[in-house]
Amino acid sequence: MEKWKRYVVVLLIGLFIGVGYMFYSKEPETPMVEQFVVTPEPEAEPNVTTEVVVYVTGAVEAPDMYTMPNGARVGDVLSLAVLTDEADPEQLNLAQLLVDGTKVTVPKKGETLVSQPNEDASGGTNGVHVNSATKEELMTVPGIGPAKAEAILNHLKQNGPFKSYEDIGDVKGFGEKTLESMKGYLLVP
């Protein structure tokens, strides 16, 4: 009988070792939900404005200056200014980013929106703001036809607003001489 007890004890010890081995050698289960990594938002650059101010005029019910968040678009500010029944928003690029200090003029139906440089009281010219101009407005600048206007708009779409007048030279077809001839017509705020 003693021999039988030894077999039972050895069998139980073997059983415990086998079961323990199964639990400890098993790879840990992967959690059903991955943990989220929270990354802090980058701090705003000290000289970067978080708002833009634009003047909306033309075929709107509430022509006025509007303060909009940086990254707002022409369509956003027009929803606040409320278009009249006479408005022709098809002449505007509603998806265009707003640029601080620019004017958005909503034409009436049948009216052609044209922006010509004109003399202001100080003797300087008020040209076309390149960061907020439509294709038609850009084509009012001497030396800019449909192809160059498209090149500017594509550059704006891909790279964002121009920061200086010299940055326009990055657009294909705009060399030093071309830029010099357009000074006063193309404005970069």
List, for residues 113-154, the tens digit of each pLDDT value.
654 333 333 333 457 888 888 888 888 887 888 888 899 999
The CATH architecture of the domain made up of 47-111 is Roll (3.10)
| pLDDT computed for residue 125 by the predictor | 40
Q: Which residue ranges make up each domain of the chain?
A: 47-111, 114-189
Hey, what CATH topology would domain 114-189 get?
A: DNA polymerase; domain 1 (1.10.150)
**Residues 79-97: what's their mean pLDDT?**
88
184 vs 34: which has the higher pLDDT: 184
Question: Rounded to an integer, what distance in angstroms lies between the CA atom of residue 161 and that of residue 153?
Answer: 10
CA 11 and chain centroid, separation:
72
The two most distant CA atoms of the chain are separated, in Å, by 120
**How much is the pTM?**
0.41
CA distances from 188 to 13, 43, 152, 161, 174 (A): 85, 26, 13, 9, 15
111 vs 48: which has the higher pLDDT: 111
pLDDT of 108 higher than 90: no
pLDDT of 17 higher than 90: no
| pLDDT computed for residue 143 by the predictor | 80
pLDDT of 70 higher than 90: no
pLDDT of 177 higher than 90: no
